[in-house]
Amino acid sequence: MSLDLNLVALLPVLAPAVAAVLVLVLDIAWPPARATHLVVVGLGLLGGAVATVPGLLQGRGERVAALCLPDGTCLYQASSLTSGLQLLALLSGVVVLVLAWDDWSHGEGGRTAVIAALVLGATAGVVAVPAAGDLGTLLVALELATLPTAALVALERRASRQPAAVDGAVALLTTSLVSFALLALGAALWVVATGTAVLSGDAVAVAAADPARLSLLTLAAVLALAGMAFKVSAVPFHAWTPLTYHGAPLPVTTYLATVSKVAALGGVVVIVTALSGASGTSLLAVAVMAALSMTVGNAVALVQTDTVRLLAWSTVAQGGWVLLPLADLSSRGTRAAGGYLAVYAVATLLAFVVVVAVGARRGVLLTDHRGLLRDSPLLGLPLAFALLALAGLPPAVVGLVAKVVALRPVAGDGTWWLAVVAALNVALGIAVYLRWLRVLAQHPEPVDALAAAEAEAQTRSTAHTAVPARHTALIAVLTTLLVAGSVAPVGIF
């Protein structure tokens, strides 16, 4: 049996994977070269991003394939949507790298090389998930995208934060193992129902013609979706999210909130696309998870006083919006989910970059952001724009368009109860982000003369703590992307 590898098509995955090996070899040959390790990380991520271009240029129904068997079955297939998700993951990884440069470049005893290899390995897994053409590739890629992140969460440099980081890593690892068990069971049932491990719509259509096999396929799909729901932070598989986000180093939290979500959506899209030839029974699970995630995420975020925890619960709610259009079995639904994820990722990256910058000067509590629009408009205005995009409010029109596009497949499919739940959550989400915006616009109000003196001293001490140039550049680039998307949002979708 011959196998057509097509290594050029695999470059988006191979580039970060090869870079991970190079980092480890470099660490053996030249251990002190910490900054060089991170340069290799950046080159690996950017190389993978450039390699997605051929896939992005594919037309509807066309795919860049690799690992093809003689019968025409390909275990790696990248459409334009798949390549778009890969590009989003790789560029988000670059943003995280720039954000974490100072912290990661000061590792002791090989810590920098370990972190670099873990980031590259996890990103290679993330990039492979959306292009998986069979269950084996999907399972391996998902685990590769997940297990290194648990180690990244635990690698907290500050001693005071290490217990919380370990708790977060254990929560992530435990949830991932349970979810993998569900996914593996679903994969086994899928093979029994369809007779093949290949994620093929034709095989699903044949199985759907037999009522007994259809029932087994439905159960397999529900288990598989449940196994991947934890990465989306979808209810009821969301419990790890606030604990892990709060305990992890902020750059790692940013990675989990953005890059890892690409693997989550990619895995769900792979399963949902394969189910296109079957009955829509199993999609009720997607609809219920979307409704619960939006509602629970927004409701709990509304009472948070810590910005990181608020963004964690915001991730749960936004995960519901990402899942929402997938309740409709159509290419329009999958593209709407991909477009929404792109907007969410850029807005969340921008919010986290500002939170990191403000955290270094003030803190990460919501009250630490009081008056930021007045005291530091170069931080406050971009953060406000990111929050408006997540809320779907003008002038961040791109967020509003993303929500409308996500709702359209559900409304067109006639799933009105889900559309009503989503509409109610629009209002609830607006309340969440307006609460943060209100704090940004407030005047600092010390309660007495002593507090006023302390506040003035704090202002003087932080005034000379300049935001790193790298962070300023990230804020400028991400804000520009959101503004450009708001001026011409149609091109994103």
* Residue-by-residue DSSP string for 382-395: HHHHHHHHHHT-TT
Predicted local distance difference test score (pLDDT) of residue 460: 46
Q: Which of 322, 266, 45 is nearest to 141 (CA)?
A: 266
Please state, as a whole number, how many other Cβ atoms lie within 10 Å of the Cβ of residue 53. Answer: 11
* Per-residue b or e along 421-450, where b marks 16 or more CB atoms closer than 10 Å to that residue's CB: bbeebbebbbebbebbbebbeeebeeeeee
pLDDT confidence band for 70 (50 / 70 / 90) = confident
Total tally of structural domains belonging to the chain: 1
pLDDT confidence band for 435 (50 / 70 / 90) = very high
Where is pLDDT greater, at 267 or 109? 267
CA–CA dist 211, 208 (Å, integer): 7
Establish if 372 belongs to a structural domain: yes
- Calculate mean pLDDT across residues 231-245: 87
- Calculate mean pLDDT across residues 164-178: 90
Predicted local distance difference test score (pLDDT) of residue 474: 92
pLDDT confidence band for 157 (50 / 70 / 90) = confident
Establish if 407 belongs to a structural domain: yes
Out of 284-293, 376-385, 472-481, least confident range: 284-293
Where is pLDDT greater, at 460 or 312? 312
Average pLDDT along the chain: 86
Q: Which domain holds residue 385?
A: 282-493
Establish if 456 belongs to a structural domain: yes
- Calculate mean pLDDT across residues 184-192: 91
Residues 262, 267, 273, 279: is their CA dihedral positive or negative?
A: negative
pLDDT confidence band for 210 (50 / 70 / 90) = confident
Residue 455 has pLDDT above 70, yes or no: no
Establish if 62 belongs to a structural domain: no
Predicted local distance difference test score (pLDDT) of residue 110: 65
Establish if 292 belongs to a structural domain: yes
CA–CA dist 387, 355 (Å, integer): 12
* Per-residue b or e along 94-106, where b marks 16 or more CB atoms closer than 10 Å to that residue's CB: bbbbbbbbebbee
Establish if 489 belongs to a structural domain: yes
Q: Are 116 and 373 in contact (CB under 8 A)?
A: no
Establish if 304 belongs to a structural domain: yes
Out of 153-157, 359-363, 443-447, least confident range: 443-447
Establish if 123 belongs to a structural domain: no
